[in-house]
Each structure stands twice: as C-alpha cells, then as structure tokens.
Amino acid sequence: MPAAQIKAKIISNLKLSNNYWHLEFESGLIAKQAKPGQFVQIRVADGATPLLRRPLSIHAAGALKVKIIYEVVGEGTGILSTKKPGEFLDILGPLGNGFDCARPVESRGGKNILVAGGIGVAPLVFLAEKLKLSKPLVLIGAQTKKQIICLPEFKALGCGLKLATDDGALGFKGRVTDLLKIVLEQTKPARIFSCGPYLMLKAVAQIAGENRINAQLSLEEHMACGIGACLGCVVETKSGYKTVCKDGPVFFSEELVW
C-alpha cells in the first residue's frame, strides 16, 4: 500500500519543553508503512494562509498511531500547536526515502552511532528502535539543557547516550560534532546516522569522510509539494540536483556536495 492523503484524528498535542511539541495522531496506514527517516506533510490551515503544508519527520509509529515531535518556529507550526485532541488533520504520508538500516553491520563489530542536533533527535528515536539489537550509541547536542529531549526513549531502547550542550550544563561542553570526534577515538564505528541543522550535518559529513565511515544524513529543506513534483527542495549531489522530499530526506554523506 503506497502513501496516501488521509484525515487523521489527533490523539494528543502537548508541549514538551521550550518550543518543542509532541503530536500523536491515529493512522493505521501511515503507522504500518512508515520507515525511520520518512516524514509526513501536514496541512495546518484550511484557507490560503499559511498556504503550504508543513513537512515533519516521523518520531514513532505504533500499531495504529503515529508520533511527531516538532518545534514551533513560525506561523504554521504555531497554528499546529493550537490543535486539540479529537480534531482532524489533513496529512500526506509516509513520504520520502528514510534511513537504510537493512544491511547487517553487527558482523563488522562496530557501533551504530546516531548523532542528533536539536529537534533532529525526533526521527532518530524511530531509527534507534529499528537498530536496537545493535545497541546504538546516541549523541545528542543542543544549545541548552532544556532542548535535550527524548532521553527516556533512548534509555528504554537500551542505547548508550552521550550529551553535549553549548554551556556544558548537561554533558560535554561544546558541539556535538566535537563530542563525536572524541567518541570516534574510543569507539569502533560501524555507521553514522545523523539529523540536525545544516552546519552540524556538514561537520558530521567531514568527520565521517576523514574517518572513512559510512554516514547517512537526514536533510531539512523548505518544501512545497513534498512528493517530488515541484522540484523546489533540491540539494546538490555529485550526480546533480536531487529532491530532499523524494530522493531524500536521507542521503549518504559521500553523495552530497557541501
């Protein structure tokens, strides 16, 4: 069964911390098909403003439920945060190419390392669940302690955790990519999976390249259609422009041109 346009009933929509919100809605169709790294396109208003849907990555997908963690950054996500349980959302999904976690890597003996920046942690919980047998090591970075989220989920999955904040109030003081460099001196890596701000991903790509580690990066871009039709959300790759919405949002780091 392919992706679809659905009307989904909101189960809950709650503030987590800071500007982070947690949305849960009913959808057997999306929950059944979703893969880590995929996203949904949510229409937040019926009228013409804001006009476009908002692309949000899937945080978890259970039997009949889908969870999203989003950051309120503007008008669209602001409206989304006012939606109440019982209301319906117009959603397209699941969309995009997610993380490739099919290949067995345990045989190589290395660790799967997940690197999250800020709200980029959201899809990595879903990924960690798929990779839980390999007990991945999760690195989370954020500006402040309050912006570090999802710790209980990773702990419940049996992941190792290392944190970084700009002021050192929680974990390592500094960037999560500097923390990654230290970790790589101590840990034999298998693959890196990462989601976060552009500059963080760029640093992860560089570190992965220097250490010859296979890295998969989930990119973010403004989108119009979300289904590969408008060609608006392109990223430059070694084989030309590719769409973040359909070819991505996850790309192998060596494909990308920074």
The residues that touch other proteins, with contacts defined as CB under 8 A, are 2-5, 43, 48-53, 90, 92, 221-236, 240-241, 246
**CB of residue 129 to other proteins, shortest distance in Å:** 26
User: What tokens does 30 get?
Assistant: 């999306």
List strands edge to edge, sheet with 189-195: 172-173, 160-165, 137-142, 111-117, 189-195, 214-218, 250-252
Helix (H) or strand (E) holding 76: helix 75-80
Q: Which is nearer to other proteins, 44 or 176 (CB)?
A: 44
The secondary structure of residue 244, as a DSSP letter, is T
**CB of residue 80 to other proteins, shortest distance in Å:** 15
CA–CA distance, 29 with 128 (Å, rounded to integer): 22
Q: Which is nearer to other proteins, 42 or 122 (CB)?
A: 42
Q: Which is nearer to other proteins, 10 or 224 (CB)?
A: 224
E runs forming strands in 30-185: 39-43, 54-61, 65-71, 88-95, 111-117, 137-142, 160-165, 172-173
**CB of residue 217 to other proteins, shortest distance in Å:** 16
**CB of residue 91 to other proteins, shortest distance in Å:** 12
Phi, psi of 212 (to 5 degrees): 55, 50
Q: Which is nearer to other proteins, 156 or 230 (CB)?
A: 230
8 Å CB contact between 130 and 101: yes
Q: Which is nearer to other proteins, 54 or 111 (CB)?
A: 54
Tokens 């798929």 sit at which residue? 130
**CB of residue 68 to other proteins, shortest distance in Å:** 19
**CB of residue 66 to other proteins, shortest distance in Å:** 17
Q: Which is nearer to other proteins, 195 or 225 (CB)?
A: 225
